[in-house]
Structure 1
């Protein structure tokens, strides 16, 4: 496998550099820092000598150089500020030196949000899922106020096509497996595009974009709140719903029941276009192809081989071929749009019907 060239873009992020960057941003840290789990960016918890906006602990994010433009980052920050103003619980960046939310320091870009504690949500609890559904409906209500001008749009197979082109163009797949993977990927991309083409009047909204359970924190008194809008995009609202599920809805009763509970909460606040359910498996497939390319692109970062030692092996790519072929079956057009027997399922979900 031919990997991406070495990525030394975070090589200067020593503790001393990060302390200096925080001070340049107008925040004096007391030296107590803890690096947090993040692969795309470098994120650390920093204790401050003087509170900022009443908080003495901040979460500092150093953005990976070259991934987003300043305009794209600032558009993300603006969306977070709109959500906070609408009292949608989200970790919005602080205003730093010069009145900006994005600070530049010796080639690195930095944003800081207040620390917001919490734990992962109990997704087996239907009331938790309904609460998350209501919160997502409020987030999307703010998202509909205006479109993104700078950030990406997930409303076609273009992200999957770009990921496929990069992997094939960079010989990232073992040569004995590449033809089989490419055949499956091309067929999946065609199926993804066909699914979007079947909804020509699809409504696009500003989204969280990466709304998996790890990006939702729960506290008993406040319920759920969102963190990490780094992947905010334009797209169909179902993109922010399907990643909460434990698996495909066609293959898992648990997934179907959990989706019903999320939708029950969502529709207490906003309408949901049931036709978007057709896009769950295309979006899942697109994320699979995109994730493989993301890992390959980042392989020069020393953190990636340590965290993903299985990536790039023949077994990994053979497994991907098998999964993409499974997704082709899952994406086959049905005779009628998906329907959800919601009331009955939700009754079962609350009782003995869920395990």
Structure 2
């Protein structure tokens, strides 16, 4: 960090982050900064630059995102094989998931963000597909023998059927593809002064608009319907939304579940992961995971969420 010209006062606090290493670092005679050390070999330099360019573009359009600090025109730095980005420290609390006014504000923000996202395209960052999130995840878990033999056939069978269903659903819906946050859940939103402030664009990629909306929903079906109406009320103040994309919610949820299991497995050699996920890679974990996937089978076949008037 000091190689960028900043001088630390040696107050260093490790922050909660599994994929990367993130620290709050005190700076002499200035506010502390946040230093993010990217996990090696996950993203290329070009992909990281695109992430930074996208967040800066959003910031330049008046959106409250935490964009990386630029020093001498650069937003990233390299030291001993690590790519590092520095961010201003921003505070806030988690949004109230049951506050419909809050959800409407989030919808407005995301509508504006998607207008910016649709104005250009990613050249290097990936596209959200059933292959990337689903098929590759499935193959990794089976090939690396993470699935216990006792339930391997059950996992193989249910995921094969799910991926076929998901592929058919994606093929039948011509959703517009745009640049997304792509990991847009309440944990990546800071609420301050009645405004939403979005952080962590590390997973930014291209995909359908609904990917940045469905993870904000919680509770039972009726609650989710009411919440989605509030989100879309705000969203449509700035951008049209095609309700056919609601048919992608359960397929996207299924892909996220499969991808999450494979993500932990890929990081299992990192000592931080067994400490954080002690329940992973046990017979019970995989049995429960298969049960959840079977429930998703039913959810995909069930009637699509409708908006309550």
Question: Match of 2:216, SS?
Answer: coil
Contact (CA 8 Å) 1:207, 1:234: kept in 2 or not? yes
Q: Distance in 2 between matches of 1:157 and 1:323?
A: 20
Which residue matches 1:198?
172
Deviations 1:254-291 (A, max 9, x none): 12211111111111111101000000000000000000
Matched, 1:95 2:70: yes
Which residue matches 1:306?
275
Q: Distance in 2 between matches of 1:210 and 1:33?
A: 27
Write the mapping of 1:322-337 to structure 2, written as runs, cut at 5 A.
322-332=291-301, 334=303
Matched, 1:142 2:116: yes
In the superposition, the TM-score normalised over structure 1's length comes to 0.84
Q: Distance in 2 between matches of 1:255 and 1:183?
A: 30
Tell me, which stretches of 5 or more residues in structure 1 are unaligned? 1-21, 345-355
Which residue matches 2:205?
233
Contact (CA 8 Å) 2:225, 2:306: kept in 1 or not? no
Contact (CA 8 Å) 2:140, 2:262: kept in 1 or not? yes
Deviations 1:138-190 (A, max 9, x none): 11110001111111111444421010011111111111111111111111111
- Deviates most, 203-212 or 254-263: 254-263
Q: Distance in 1 between matches of 2:223 and 2:255?
A: 23
In the superposition, the TM-score normalised over structure 2's length comes to 0.97
Question: Match of 1:60, SS?
Answer: strand
Deviations 1:51-98 (A, max 9, x none): 4xxxx22111000001000000000000001000001100000113x5
Contact (CA 8 Å) 1:274, 1:339: kept in 2 or not? no
Which residue matches 2:150?
176
Question: Match of 1:167, SS?
Answer: helix
Equivalent position to 1:214, from 164, 173, 187: 187
Contact (CA 8 Å) 1:157, 1:192: kept in 2 or not? no
Cα RMSD after superposing both structures = 1.3
Matched, 1:288 2:257: yes
Deviations 1:12-53 (A, max 9, x none): xxxxxxxxxx011222111111111000000011121154xx
Tell me, which stretches of 5 or more residues in structure 2 are unaligned? none
Question: Match of 2:28, SS?
Answer: strand
Paired positions, count: 309
Contact (CA 8 Å) 1:88, 1:139: kept in 2 or not? yes
Q: Distance in 2 between matches of 1:313 and 1:80?
A: 39
Equivalent position to 2:140, from 146, 166, 169: 166
Deviation for aligned residue 1:127: 0.5
Question: Match of 2:301, SS?
Answer: coil
Question: Match of 1:320, SS?
Answer: helix
Matched, 1:123 2:97: yes
Equivalent position to 1:45, from 18, 24, 29: 24
Question: Match of 1:88, SS?
Answer: coil
Larger Rg: 1
Equivalent position to 1:260, from 229, 232, 239: 229
Q: Distance in 2 between matches of 1:319 and 1:333?
A: 21
Matched, 1:340 2:307: yes
Runs of 4+ in structure 1 off by over 4 angstroms are none
Which residue matches 1:17?
none
Contact (CA 8 Å) 2:33, 2:89: kept in 1 or not? yes
